[in-house]
Chains A and B, each alone.
Chain A
Amino acid sequence: MGNRFNISWKKIGLAIKEFFIALGRGDLLTRLRVDRALPYILYLFLLGCISIWLSYHAEQTMLTVQKNNDRIKTLKVYHAQKTYELVRLDRIATVEKMLEEAGSQVKAPEKPADILR
């Protein structure tokens, strides 16, 4: 048990030593066979870039949405205001007054409209 334990420590010590040697020589990643995973690393890097790019565009889109919302709100207000002004003119009494002011001979009907069948 003790022997095995000693061996293990020795191996760990060797591994750490080799790690630093490899680190010093600059071939740590090659030793770890990371070169075989290079396409995946590049792919991950690409995904990272795309993610950043999409986040940026999402923010731009959100800004556009917000601006358009503000525009829609302004248009809605304008529409409501116009609707109010137009509906106000729709009252019979108002129409009669406007006709009178315009010197028109048109009056409220005295009999129901004829029906064409």
Chain B
Amino acid sequence: MARLTRRQQQEEDKHRISKILWYLYCTFLVLALVIIIKIVKIQYFWEPDPETVEYFQPKRYESTTKPERGAIMDMNGRLLAISTPMYNIKMDCEVLEEEFKTAKTAREADSLETDWRKKARLMCDRLPEVLAKDGKTSDYYYNLIMKHRDSDSLPGRRDVLITKNIDHRTYLKLCELPLFNEGQYKSGMKKTEIETRQYPYGTLAARVIGDIRISKENPEQNRFVGIEGEYDYILHGTEGKQWMKRTDKGSIADPDSTAVEVVNGNDIRTTLDIDIQDIADRALRKNIGDDAEIEGGCVVVLDVKTGAVRAMVNLQRNREGELGENFNMAIGRPGEPGSIFKAVTLAALLEDGKVKLSNRIPTNHGRIAEMPEITADHYITDWERNKKTSSISIQDGFKISSNYVFRRLVLDHYGDKPEKFIDKLYEYKLNDAYAFDLEEKGGTKSRVPDPKSSGWSRSTLPSTAIGYSVMETPLNIAAFYNAIANKGKMMKPYLIESHEKDGRVVQKFGPQILNATTFSKATADSLTKALTMVTLEGTGATRLKNAKCTVAGKTGTARMVLDPGERKGSRDPYKDIDGRRKYQATFVGFFPAEDPQYTAIVTVYTKPTTKSVYGGVIPAMTFRELVDQVWSLDSRWGEELNERADVPDMTPKYIATRSGSVIPVPDVKGMGLKDALYAIENNGYVCQYEGIGHVVSQVPEAGTECRKGETIKVILR
């Protein structure tokens, strides 16, 4: 074989490399073709197994985010209702059981199970301490868990309830316990979050704040009460929805056009002042709590200038005799108001120029001549006897709350045109004239008699003048008295100040004028004067004369019509066969009378009783406590300290000490105690001191010559 030349050898090598490269190229080319064919096949012709796809594709699921329910606040932003999650804790007692059984050896499986049980025991030992409210022992918890772990047949092994309704802090403590601190998959701990509404002030204003109860079985039993119910559409917010994608490291949002962003509910700022609410609540509880014959009562406090409701207390006794906020009587329980309505009659008479407070009318032994069926007014007969007079001024008639005086006045001035008097009641918005921010389910509205109706009789007008034949809610009466305090400007009582979002006001409400000139300023002043006399000398004087500020108000007691069941066959609608009556006793007024800031009404309702109940007793006592405490808490009425005042000179003098038996007393004014002691005792005197701070006075005065050993008294302040 001929030997190849060098050049031929090089050509041969090149050729071989080319061939190798060509083969490689062909291989890659084939591979590329295979891949392209495979891609086309997978993309267009291959139908994958759905179960396999599930494992190879990231799992998507729709996640619903519940909105945070808005808070309810008082006028100062203090939280009255807030949402916080509570937790139910369950345990999967089967956890890791199967995994332990698949261990390599039986011994290893036993060891793993024993370790798990040891940790469970340690956890159970500490559970009673963390879940003290449940009052269970550690053995109880351990036996419960082990009973379910050991038995394969027990139902609910994977959901054994450990505790329910625990707060976040307790939940975090649970997470720190042995076993539970290893997480859900090792401990079996399961947490269920329940959005719960919390009321930090407990039952304060509970009926006004309200609640929502949803019945899953029967939607007709759904309950929407108070602000929570009425303004649910504002507080609730909108649920958010979005698709989530599971990745190796957790779930992430997988946004698309169907995503709906969660919108949290707006907060509601009310006009309530929780301090005043607390004071009113305590005062009413204190005065009616021990008297089982009192069915309940309500208190409403309004801000004079705006009509804002600062407090609304509604306490009603349940079957067990306990007081609770069960029904909003202030807005849902109209009743015949009694003598407090005399202020309305007086306002009409004064405004129409029919009378002045100083006018006098004959007393006529308390009898209305043309209506002999009406019994004599004993207040008038007492007045005639005590004052030895046969006439009475309008102011005195109002002060002693004489029914005779007001019946007489309306008959004299409106007897021929009763509709004129009734029109005044409409002007004063004592009918159902305006919608309050809340409505009480099952409650009724205020009502004024109609002279054109068939129910009108000749006794209706005089009866209306003294607060019968009309039905008024405590709130309506309070709004009228508030107009007197506000010099004739009637403000609409309101409870909702604004809707807010993250501290910013979304919608502002605020005060509304119902009638800017309900009556003139002169009428308002006359009424204020008459009302002040009631608390200084009249029916309210016993309880309110010495209140911390002057009160202008009126007592009122009305007998209530008994329900047919309560009458027990009696023909008298106001009395049962045992002579028992039901009363509605009220005190309504405003304070301080000179510059009114608050109007309040206290109404108390009795059960059928033989006792006499008066507006000047329990309601006036409650009102007095309210006035005294509200006045004390409000710095508006604090004493003003002058800008300039005599402040002792605090510059200490030069401390001089001298020897001798008779020496002048040093001037220690302005010195601290240490320097004063040094100056006095180094001069041979004995020092007595009182107080702390700097010396403001000394006895004897500086410069007085005293003998050694005498006592110098100094006062420090």
Bound form: Cα–Cα A92–B626 in Å: 14
A76-90 interface mask toward B, CB cutoff 8 Å, 1 = contact, 0 = none?
111011011001101
Taking the complex as formed, is A110 at the interface, i.e. its CB lies under 8 A from any CB of chain B?
A: yes
* Closest B residue to A26 using CB positions: B25
Nearest chain B CB to A75 CB, angstrom units: 10
Q: Chain B residues with Cβ under 8 A from A63's Cβ?
A: 247, 249-250, 252
Are the CB atoms of A113 and B638 closer together than 8 Å?
Answer: yes
Q: Chain A residues with Cβ under 8 A from B641's Cβ?
A: 114-117
Question: From residue 138 to 181 of chain B, which have CB atoms closer than 8 A to chain A?
Answer: 167-169
Taking the complex as formed, is A1 at the interface, i.e. its CB lies under 8 A from any CB of chain B?
A: no
Are the CB atoms of B25 and A81 closer together than 8 Å?
Answer: no
Bound form: Cα–Cα A23–B32 in Å: 13
Are the CB atoms of A66 and B251 closer together than 8 Å?
Answer: yes
Q: Chain A residues with Cβ under 8 A from B78's Cβ?
A: 87, 90
Nearest chain A CB to B29 CB, angstrom units: 7
Are the CB atoms of B632 and A23 closer together than 8 Å?
Answer: no
Q: Chain B residues with Cβ under 8 A from A88's Cβ?
A: 200-202
Nearest chain B CB to A56 CB, angstrom units: 11
Are the CB atoms of A108 and B639 closer together than 8 Å?
Answer: no
With A62-B252, A77-B84 as known contacts, state yes or no: A112 contacts B636, CB within 8 Å.
Answer: yes
* Closest B residue to A90 using CB positions: B78
Taking the complex as formed, is B253 at the interface, i.e. its CB lies under 8 A from any CB of chain A?
A: yes
Are the CB atoms of B201 and A91 closer together than 8 Å?
Answer: yes
With A23-B29, A26-B22, A91-B204 as known contacts, state yes or no: A114 contacts B275, CB within 8 Å.
Answer: no
Q: Chain B residues with Cβ under 8 A from A26's Cβ?
A: 21-22, 25
B614-655 interface mask toward A, CB cutoff 8 Å, 1 = contact, 0 = none?
000000000000000101111111111111000000000000
Are the CB atoms of B278 and A91 closer together than 8 Å?
Answer: yes
Taking the complex as formed, is B83 at the interface, i.e. its CB lies under 8 A from any CB of chain A?
A: yes
Are the CB atoms of A78 and B247 closer together than 8 Å?
Answer: no
Are the CB atoms of A66 and B250 closer together than 8 Å?
Answer: yes
Bound form: Cα–Cα A78–B635 in Å: 35
Taking the complex as formed, is A111 at the interface, i.e. its CB lies under 8 A from any CB of chain B?
A: yes
Question: From residue 194 to 242 of chain B, which have CB atoms closer than 8 A to chain A?
Answer: 198, 200-202, 204
Taking the complex as formed, is A57 at the interface, i.e. its CB lies under 8 A from any CB of chain B?
A: no
Are the CB atoms of A78 and B252 closer together than 8 Å?
Answer: no
Taking the complex as formed, is B274 at the interface, i.e. its CB lies under 8 A from any CB of chain A?
A: yes
Q: Chain A residues with Cβ under 8 A from B282's Cβ?
A: 93
Taking the complex as formed, is A2 at the interface, i.e. its CB lies under 8 A from any CB of chain B?
A: no
* Closest B residue to A112 using CB positions: B638
Taking the complex as formed, is B579 at the interface, i.e. its CB lies under 8 A from any CB of chain A?
A: no
Bound form: Cα–Cα A76–B84 in Å: 9
B72-92 interface mask toward A, CB cutoff 8 Å, 1 = contact, 0 = none?
000000110011110000000
Are the CB atoms of B632 and A111 closer together than 8 Å?
Answer: yes
Taking the complex as formed, is A59 at the interface, i.e. its CB lies under 8 A from any CB of chain B?
A: yes
Bound form: Cα–Cα A22–B263 in Å: 64
Question: From residue 49 to 100 of chain A, which have CB atoms closer than 8 A to chain B?
Answer: 59, 62-63, 65-67, 76-78, 80-81, 83-84, 87-88, 90-93
Q: Chain B residues with Cβ under 8 A from A76's Cβ?
A: 68
Are the CB atoms of A80 and B83 closer together than 8 Å?
Answer: yes
A residues apposed to B, CB below 8 Å: 23, 26, 59, 62-63, 65-67, 76-78, 80-81, 83-84, 87-88, 90-93, 108-117
8 chain-A/chain-B pairs, Cβ below 8 angstroms = A26-B21, A26-B22, A63-B249, A80-B82, A88-B200, A93-B282, A109-B633, A114-B640
Pairs A-B, 6 closest by C-beta atoms: A87-B200, A112-B638, A62-B252, A113-B635, A80-B84, A112-B637
